[in-house]
Amino acid sequence: MVRKLVGTVSILDDFDQIKHIDKSNMREAMNRLPENCEDALKLAEKLNIPKKLRITEKISIKYKNPEKILVVGMGGSAISGDILRTWLRGSLPIPIEVCREYYLPAYADNSTLVLAISYSGNTEETLSGFIEAIQRKCMVIAITSGGLLLDFCQKLRIPFIKVPSELPPRAAIPYLFFPLVTILKKLDILKLKQREIRETIDLLGEIRELIRAETPTKNNPAKKLAIALMGTIPAIYGFREYESIALRIKTQLNENSKIPAKNEVFPELSHNEIVGWDGPRKLTKMFSAVLIRDPDETPEIRSRIETMRALNLNKKASKVLEIKAIGKSKLARMFSVMYIGDYASLYLAILCGVDPTPIEVITKLKHELAKRVNIIEKLNYQVEKWATK
């Protein structure tokens, strides 16, 4: 189905029309982002991590300083691991990897901290990785709102953080990211960056006033971005810590706006992606390029961005747009770009006349897969077997 504007762009300044289209109230979940960050930190502080946990006679887990960190999750739950990885990549002395798979990488062992994240608690890939992590005696900690993951943790006494359950997973990013920081602090891997976290939350409150639905389009950068993206396939380009944010914006456009989008990262994209823009104009004009910019970007990155823009983006893309990071600290700037991108995906959904919240095709996919392969039943059997020993 070809999407068309449901009216003129003035619909974004008609609050009643926004409420009518956004029937499931995604905007309220976005509005509460700063408060949810605060709440997530408080919830995470309640976590108690044992020094040792016996699962069976042959499986015991010792919680100590890990040599590597593996975040296991899918979709909106996994993106928190990507943000953690890119945020700490230049300062944490141990590697962080995100596993979006049924099976863990071969290196996962008793020196690996495995953070199993499933907002629903029923993501089969995450549950599969969770069970395998226990079998390998990894230091397992879970974050979930309920479902089987919560049930498994309770039966096996695996430490977990239970978060509120009323949000769409992609809107629960505060509850899936900030607890990770607290867990690293509790395991003495990371000193809690209190000043950076405080600035991030305060800045989100300030940005909210600029991008919320009540702010007119002429003063609202998220509404302006949505209008510019309408009718194009967005290509989101990030670098270093914004690699994860570019992915986040891409997936928000997929799930909220219900449009195809892609993401790439500098400098790698200037070794391959740049050539694709030399394709025929009738093809490239279908795409818009969204460049994430940072006032502290290095001269090397700035040169690559601006050179690529001059060489072919300005000539071949339908539009070339920028999202400019705001804030002093790295985390604050990352979340500032993310927040603007989140709201832009909401407004683009409004322009397309679609409720941002429902993701019917994913629900149908899970239903069809469950009829073909019942992985959950096997995992449940394994947990019951352990729990009775």
Active site residues per annotation: 255, 271, 366
| Conformational region of residue 353, where left means phi above 0, alpha means psi within -120 to 50, and beta covers everything else | left
What 3-state DSSP class applies to 250? helix
What 3-state DSSP class applies to 356? coil
Tokens of 196: 């950076």
Residues forming beta bridges with residue 143, ordered by sequence position = 117, 161
Tokens of 79: 């993106």
User: CA–CA separation, 175 vs 143, rounded Å?
Assistant: 8
User: CA–CA separation, 283 vs 308, rounded Å?
Assistant: 18
| Conformational region of residue 321, where left means phi above 0, alpha means psi within -120 to 50, and beta covers everything else | beta
CB 162 within 8 Å of CB 25: no
User: CA–CA separation, 73 vs 124, rounded Å?
Assistant: 10
Q: For residue 368, what is the enclosing H or E element?
A: helix 360-372
Amino acid (1-letter code) at residue 103: Y
Cβ neighbors of 19 (< 8 A, separation 6 or more) are: none
User: CA–CA separation, 296 vs 328, rounded Å?
Assistant: 10
Tokens of 72: 């296991």
Residues forming beta bridges with residue 68, ordered by sequence position = 112
Residues forming beta bridges with residue 114, ordered by sequence position = 70, 140
CB 35 within 8 Å of CB 63: no
Give helix 124-135 / helix 375-387 axis angle, nearest 10°. Answer: 40
